[in-house]
């Protein structure tokens, strides 16, 4: 699943494509324009420990813009 942005109508949409198709041109789902580009998407991952408690894991940091490590697994904000 990849996320794309349309420069013509400013829409963001998702498409299920193979990895080797990810950067190929795709028509906008809203206006059919070919002025689209792939964007980086955020994701969430949750881990459950043996006690049943959940915690956020890599990729779920809410404050990485101010984090000097640039690596969410070492980030003190997660």
The pLDDT tens digits for 25-67 are: 999 999 999 999 999 877 667 777 777 777 666 554 454 544 5
Higher pLDDT residue, 3 or 45? 3
Q: Is 47:55 a contact under the CB 8 Å cutoff?
A: yes
Tell whether 74 is covered by a domain.
no
Query: Which domain does 22 fall in, by range?
Result: 1-58
Tell whether 76 is covered by a domain.
no
pLDDT tens, residue by residue, 12-35: 999 999 999 999 999 999 999 999
How far, in Å, CA of 26 to CA of 5, rounded? 10
- Report if pTM > 0.85: no
**Dihedral of alpha carbons 32, 33, 38, 40, sign:** negative
Q: Is 28:36 a contact under the CB 8 Å cutoff?
A: yes
Tell whether 26 is covered by a domain.
yes
Tokens of 56: 């956020």
Tell whether 7 is covered by a domain.
yes
Tell whether 65 is covered by a domain.
no
């Amino acid at each position: 699943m990849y996320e794309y942005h349309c420069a013509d109508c400013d829409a963001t949409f998702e498409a299920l494509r193979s990895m080797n198709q990810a950067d190929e041109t795709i028509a906008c789902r809203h206006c059919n324009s070919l002025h689209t580009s792939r964007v980086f998407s955020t994701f969430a991952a949750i881990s459950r420990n043996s006690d049943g408690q959940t915690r956020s894991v890599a990729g779920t940091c809410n404050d990485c813009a101010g984090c000097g490590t640039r690596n969410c697994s070492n980030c003190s904000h997660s």
